[in-house]
Each structure stands twice: as structure tokens, then as C-alpha cells.
Amino acid sequence: MAESTHEKILRVVRRIPRGRVATYGQVSKLAGFARQPRLAGYALRHADDTVPWQRVVNAAGRISPRADPDSIPRQRLILEAEGIQFSATGVVDLKRYQWRPRRR
DNA sequence: CGTCTGACGATAT
DNA sequence: TATATCGCCAGAC
């Protein structure tokens, strides 16, 4: 069985530790798909509860909007429960919270 | 099997 | 600084 694109993406997302976030672009790059941030978004859309999808935010440090408007406050609450703070404008400070993997 | 659709971001103009 | 272009996966129908 060849590993699918989505599986590679999800494998990376599962490495993001609690209390940290990664961007779509970062995830896709680590999975071997540089400059294809959409692939990370596509994969997360189909992700189940075995993957910490809430730890992926966009390059601006904001939660990416989806069909369900309630998904934003919902994701935010989970991240805050993990210790991540949001600015008054709803932005995560990537300088402070972005995941920096050691190797691979 | 063709078309549509959905968690993005670097680059060009 | 703002808007357009492009890359190109996978499930639903």
C-alpha cells in the first residue's frame, strides 16, 4: 500500500505537540509538498479525531474560516485550553507558539 | 468518467 | 498596499 498524500500530511500534523501550532504551509512542506499549503487543508478536511487538527492555523496566525462559522470559536476554545493565547483581534502569535520540529 | 468543491499561500501585476 | 493567478488532492454526485 502506497501512502497517500493525505496520510503523509496527517502524519506530520500528529507530531504537533500540545500548546503549539503549525501553519498549513509548514505542514505541507514537512510532508514533502513545499508550496502546496492547500494540500494540508484538503487533508485536514477529511481528518478524524486521531489528528490534532486544531493545531493548524493559517500563515497569518488566524483560524481558517470554513462552512460552519462556529468552527472558529470552537477551534479557538480548544487551543486556549491547551494554553495558547489569542490577541484581541483573534490572532495567534506565531513567534511565540509556532511549532519548531528538531529534525526530519 | 467529468465536474464541482473545499482548513492556503507564494508570486506577479 | 490590494487583488489576481496558480498549484493540483480526494470525495460526492
In angstroms, the CA of A37 and the C1' of C7 are apart by 9
pLDDT at A8 over 70: yes
Angle at A11 between CA A23 and CA A24, to 5 degrees: 15
What predicted TM-score, i.e. pTM, was given to this entire model? Answer: 0.94
The whole-number Å distance from A66's CA to C1's C1' is: 26
pLDDT of A50-67, one tens digit each?
Answer: 999 999 999 999 999 999
- Grid cell at residue A65: 474560516
Closest nucleotide to A40, Cα to C1':
B7
